[in-house]
Structure 1
Amino acid sequence: MTNDSHGFSTRAIHDGQAFDPTTGAVIPPVYLTTTFVQKAIGDLRNGYEYTRGTNPTRDALQVQLASLEGGRHGLSFASGLAAEDALLRSVLKPGDHVLMGNDVYGGTHRLVSRIHVPWGVTLSTVDASDIDAVRQALRPETSVLWLETPSNPLMRISDIAALAELGHAAGALVVVDNTFATPYLQQPLALGADVVVHSTTKYLGGHSDVLGGAVVLNDDELAEKVGFMQFAAGAVSGPLDAWLTTRGIKTLSLRMDRHSQNAQAIAEALVGHPKLERVYYPGLADHPGHDIAARQMRGFGGMLSIALAGGADAARRFAEATVLFQLAESLGGVESLVNYPAEMTHASVRGTELEVPAGVIRLSVGIEDAADLVDDVLTALA
């Protein structure tokens, strides 16, 4: 069941989610099977043969993902990095150049620098919020322009439409990691990007209980290549993981509205605090990317970062002093999390241009009561 005329929340609940025709169960079943009985040799039932290739539960999620990102093809993977790797392996060859934002998830940079560069790919980074810098950094051999907006963890905003135009003029595939924003807040394909990737572990799953990744795109030929890479290498999401992600997506719009409201409240409460050097949140009017974010996003999201004036020691004390904000990696769950990127999520990029300043703390703002979260942060600062 798909209908492009329906609103986002309606599609999130219904697309790919037809009731079970055998029993009428309103929730499609989880197909916990590895293989499917054939009518005869090579005569498959609805194309199902082996779960690494296709599975009805994963298919349902993939329809849902494609619908919400406005793409023709959605592919669900075992993790966000598995999704990124399958895409890159489908696109790159030795001698190609990847231009990546200089503030992205550390694992993405590690994947390219430690896996693809030794294979013969070259990698450089650039401040993707600076259009002129991106223009100068593009090369004739640039095959992929990799963007993440808002960026992780410094919350920089890239102008997707302008950069897509630049990338295409240079012959590059423009990829946007939409994990922080989600398809509810931002639609990169509609803004001109070629491919969207997600760690569905985060906001799409939404409950810190499932690992997954996604690739969404419109190009039929590239979708076939990525699909073959997924099948041949086997990094597919399992049926239960796919079902949990589907369940999480159904409340995405409600959760993202609350995440955004809470993050805005915390950011505003922290502006001007004497123990902070800076609050990184695009919902603040003085954020350098505020106007672009307001133009290309429905809301400003649930992620924010702060730079403590006391540097590393102050940041570590803060991270270990919060109560409702629990010290953990990852993000995007209903519960609030605090992370020290320099030694946690971004430890792998120390010594590179992506190294996170030692005084920076990243907050994944949950959907608890905003007043309680503000109090928790202010108490930890005190």
Structure 2
Amino acid sequence: MRKKQSIVRRTPVPHSSSVPLVTPLMPSVVYRSASPDAIDAQYDGTAPGYVYAREGHPNADVLAHKIDMLEGAEGGLIFGSGMAAITGALLGCVKAGDHVLGGNQLYGRCLRMMAQELPALGIETGLADPTDAQAMRAAVKPNTKAILIEVVSNPTLRIADISGISQLAKDIGALLIVDNTFTTPRSFRPFEYGADVVVHSVTKLLAGHSDVTLGYVAAKDPERLEAIEGIWATFGLTPSPFDCWLAERGLHSFELRFDRAQENAARLADALAGHRHVTKVLYPGRPDHPDFDRAEKLLKGQGGNMVSFIIDGGRTQANALTKAAPNIAFAPTLGDIGTTLSHPPSSSHRALSESERAALGISEGFFRVSVGIEDPDLLIEELSAAIDASV
């Protein structure tokens, strides 16, 4: 009598004495184990491997290890988004009754978290100017347990006084959390300047192609990282294997993309500075930047790929500019291989009042450019013509 067979879950992966050159995509949610003792060994840490993808999977670990090498870290975690990474880092560092002090020019959604979501969890928050360590010190409370800053602010491109803030965190026994998304480890490595936790939106420059949504967190202290990992797994902040696989592929060209985009950004900033309808240009690599000396010291001549500028006029002129530049994507993102143009008053900072935006220097004529790797002459020509058409 013929033995019954089935193709369902009974065909093992073929063994090979060679290994793939490209990291395989491994979308499995669960992993087979030989016995209950084998699962115990994995959970106890005495045997390697995976059990359930919410608690880790190979594609996330491969990507995390590569970003670890860039940041000089160990054991970093990949999150489902940049905001998931910020959430995990904060909830792994503070609890109800604690106070978090943030830079007042954080990414717009971070500002919302500081104003609404964290207070709803019983966590006190405050904001201060990160370019002024004394202003940050004045905003400290007895229960301040964490300080959250970006090295280069979004979208005004101001440079934080990282040395002063790092010393402040040490003085008060608070954890320093640094969002390194804008700068990337190509320009700045926060752990070398006293950071306790480093966060990235991998979605941006590291992955570089606007086709994944991921975040990354690393911590200097293994016990702190373990606390963040508990939030990561319990809250389900873990990423898709496919996104990790795509991001790893993008990461392979990161340094080449960053260097080319940075060269283009420097040229664009200089061109915009000479445009008759541009009232202000913000680029850390230019001597007229308000924090130029600090940028030179911290970033070592790496101005980055971001340029912000202000044009004459208000919303009418802003609408006209974007419509006059159809080949430059108007999109609220950054770090793509192609240049994108964003308008913070209508996107990242729309939740702020007009007066709050004005206090940060963000008017209706304020634009942020995430410069890509295109021909810089073409980019300058197109954007200059669009500005001319807007006024």
TM-score over 0.5 for the alignment?
yes
Matched, 1:25 2:31: no
Separation in structure 2 between the aligned mates of residue 281 and residue 369 of structure 1, nearest angstrom: 19
Given the superposition, is the C-alpha separation of residues 320 and 99 from structure 1 closer, same or farther in structure 2, using an over 3 Å criterion? farther
1:364 partnered with 2:382: no
- Decide which of 317, 320, 326 is 1:317's aligned counterpart: 320
8 Å Cα contact 1:336/1:363 also seen in 2: yes
Summarize the alignment of residues 114-263 of structure 1 with structure 2, pairs less than 5 Å apart. Answer: 114-263=116-265
Counterpart AA for 2:48 = N
3-state SS, counterpart of residue 275 of structure 2: coil
Give distance in 2, aligned partners of 1:378 and 1:158. 30
Moved more, 252-261 or 157-166: 157-166
My pick for the range that moved more, 312-321 or 211-220, is: 312-321
Query: Does the alignment pair 1:332 with 2:335?
Result: yes
1:41 and 2:41 correspond: no
Identity, % of aligned positions: 36
Q: Alpha-carbon deviation of 1:21?
A: 7.5
Match of residue 379 from structure 1: 385
Q: Point out the structure with max Rg over C-alpha.
A: 2
What amino acid sits opposite 1:376 in the alignment? E
Q: Distance in 1 between matches of 2:18 and 2:107?
A: 44
Contact kept? 1:340, 1:362, Cα under 8 Å: yes
Does 360-369 or 284-293 show the bigger shift?
284-293
Q: CA deviation at 1:101?
A: 1.1
Q: SS in structure 2 opposite 1:43?
A: helix
Q: Does 1:297 align with 2:303?
A: no
TM-score, with normalisation over the residues of structure 2? 0.89
Unaligned stretches of 5+ in structure 1? 1-19
The residue type equivalent to 1:31 in the other structure is M
Mapped to 2, the partners of 1:219 and 1:29 lie a distance apart of 31
Cα distance in 2 for residues equivalent to 1:360 and 1:354: 10
Corresponding position of 1:350: 353
> Counterparts of 2:355 and 2:100 in 1: how far apart (Å)?
16
Helix, strand or coil: the match of 1:144?
strand
Q: Deviations over 1:43-85 (max 9, x none)?
A: 0473311111121111111111212111123110000111111
Counterpart Cα distance in 2 of 1:102 and 1:324: 33
- Cα distance in 1 for partners of 2:37, 2:281 equals 60
Aligned to 2:11: none
Q: Which residue matches 2:12?
A: none
- What is the number of residues matched between the two proteins? 363
Structure 1 residue 346: Cα displacement: 1.5
Question: What is the Cα-based RMSD across aligned positions, in Å?
Answer: 1.7
- CA deviation map 1:154-200 (0-9, x unaligned): 00001222211112212211111111111111111111111111111
* Inter-CA distance 241–136: structure 2 relative to 1 (3 Å threshold): same
What runs of 5+ residues in structure 2 fail to find an aligned partner? Answer: 1-14, 40-46
> Any conservation in 2 of the 1:102–1:354 contact (CA below 8 Å)?
no
- When normalised by structure 1's length, the TM-score is 0.91
Structure 1 residue 349, shift from structure 2 partner: 2.7
Residue type of the partner of 2:318?
A
Of 47, 55, 58, the match for 1:56: 58
